[in-house]
Amino acid sequence: MLSTNFVSALQSAWKLPDLRARILFVFAMFAVYAIGLHIPVPGVDPEQMRKLFESQQLLEFLNMFTGGALRRLTILALGLNPYITASIIMQIFSYADPRLREEMREEAGRRKMQQRTRLLTIVIALVQAIGFLSTFRSSGALDVSGVQAFQVIIAWVAGAMFLLWLGEQITEKGLGNGVSLMIFASIVASMPFQVQQTYALVREGTVTSFQVITLLAIFIATVWGIIYVTMSQRRIPIQHMRRIIGRRQTVGGTSYLPIPVNAAGVIPIIFAISLQLLPATLLQLIPYDRANPPTWAIYVDSFLRAFTPGGGWIGSLIYAFLIFLFTYFYVAVVFNTDEIAENLKRQGAFIQGVRPGKPTADYLNDVLSRITVAGALFLAFIALLQYWVPSITRIQTLTIVGGTSLLILVGVAIDFARQLQAQLAMRQYEDFLK
């Protein structure tokens, strides 16, 4: 049903010159991004890079958001990872600090917040670039020094900011949320390489047709499940009192307050994986010979691997617990029930059977707590599916099935479809008024 509506909306949008130009602009920006994915920095050793990625789970996770640019070490190797981290940090600060939250209600305050996010993105990009340079040089995957090393760092930071600029251009001149669409494009760009690897294994006979069919069945079921949960919501009926303002009388009625099952989106997974892999990341910043690591490094690495999501049942339990923790934390920060209750009271609206004010806030907190359990379970299951699917199918090359990437792809696609339909509805309304 969703796909039918989307195709119909896309066909209708293509007939309108304004929307067609916006859609073409989005694809033009994707083409520019695709070119940047294949401009490498100097001194890359492909064989050493392959070995490094096979041994480092964190790099594979980050590579998923760069369209394969990190594995190839191109100028866009950082992708939008610095911006994702910066925006999450600033979003938490803005909701946790009442002054920033008040500032965000005005256009000038939102512009200030965007500027702060950009500055923090530069700082995080610089730190990540230095960390990657240290890791790749010590492993022998990147042979640069002196001025050339400085140029590589500048190229990576500039590449990250260029991607952010592309995303902002899509938001302004294209259609939908530009940054989300760029992340969508980066994940899609990494898919051909994964499909090619899987096809090569099928031709060699390493992977059977039954394994591929099983993988496709899991993929379809996962996409359906993500769509179902993403679009699911608890609708709380809101009663509006009839009010008289001067000579004008407002009509009372019933509306609904929607509470999504997955209100936190993909952010708890990103937080959880980042925190869980932080010790391994810090280990990579310590300079030592990766080709012949010392005994202490081997022991520490083995110990840390046991506590990573794909390292065993202990790591999986820790991962699921962190996802639960961050889901509740993020929903509590973003969904301000006290503010919602106060707004309803000011508007003369109330929930049937619940008194306005604090009782309404308590009721919303109770509903939110119960529905967040389902959302957290869903996120934990999807996140762990990324590690369960390769074990079930014995196919290690197609990581797109399950996990964060598929959740982002489906979420962005649904959001884009909704925005496209909203644009069509707005233009139909304008035509009606003419």
Query: DSSP string covering 363-423, please?
Result: HHHHHHHHHHHHHHHHHHHHHHHHHHHHHHH---S-TTSSSHHHHHHHHHHHHHHHHHHHH
Name the CA dihedral angle for 181, 183, 184, 186, rounded to a multiple of 10 degrees. Answer: 120
Q: What is the CA radius of gyration of the chain?
A: 24
Chain centre distance of CA 59: 16
Rounded to whole angstroms, the Cα distance separating 242 from 5 reads 37
pLDDT at 244: 59
User: Do 1-190 and 207-402 share a fold?
Assistant: yes
Terminus-to-terminus CA distance in the chain, angstroms?
32
**Of 241 and 367, more confident:** 367
- Domain 1-190 fold is Preprotein translocase SecY subunit (1.10.3370)
Q: Which of 138-152, 239-253, 258-272 has the lowest mean pLDDT?
A: 239-253
Collapse the DSSP code of 120 into the 3-class scheme (helix H, G, I; strand E, B; otherwise coil) and give the result: helix
Of the options 1.10.3720.10, 3.40.50.720, 3.30.1280.10, 1.10.3370.10, the CATH number for the domain spanning 207-402? 1.10.3370.10
Biggest CA pair distance of the chain:
84
**Of 305 and 413, more confident:** 413
pLDDT at 100: 76
Domain spans of the chain, in order of start: 1-190, 207-402
Collapse the DSSP code of 260 into the 3-class scheme (helix H, G, I; strand E, B; otherwise coil) and give the result: strand
Q: Which amino acid would we find at residue 23? A: I
Chain centre distance of CA 153: 25
Average pLDDT score over residue span 95-110: 76
> For residue 112, is pLDDT > 60?
yes
**Of 306 and 430, more confident:** 306
Average pLDDT score over residue span 318-335: 85
**Of 335 and 25, more confident:** 25
pLDDT at 310: 67
pLDDT category at 242 given cuts 50, 70, 90 is: low
Collapse the DSSP code of 78 into the 3-class scheme (helix H, G, I; strand E, B; otherwise coil) and give the result: coil
Rounded to whole angstroms, the Cα distance separating 86 from 323 reads 19
Strand stretches in 198-264, DSSP E: 233-240, 243-245, 248-250, 253-260
Which of the 8 DSSP states describes residue 43? S
pLDDT at 159: 94
pLDDT at 290: 62
Angle subtended by helix axes 358-393 and 313-334, to nearest 10: 150
> For residue 314, is pLDDT > 80?
yes
**Backbone angle region of 289, left / alpha / beta, with phi > 0 → left and psi within -120 to 50 → alpha:** beta
% the chain with pLDDT above 70: 90
C-beta of residue 150 within 8 angstroms of C-beta of residue 124: no
pLDDT in tens, 193-233: 788 888 888 888 888 888 888 888 888 888 898 889 888 88
pLDDT averaged over every residue in the chain = 82
pLDDT at 289: 66
**Of 402 and 79, more confident:** 79
Rounded to 5 degrees, what angle do the CA atoms 59, 268, 333 make?
140
C-beta of residue 310 within 8 angstroms of C-beta of residue 303: no
Q: Which of 15-19, 262-266, 284-288 has the lowest mean pLDDT?
A: 284-288
- Would you mind telling me the total number of residues written for the chain in this entry? 434
Q: Among residues 261, 222, 211, which one has the least CA distance to residue 385?
A: 222
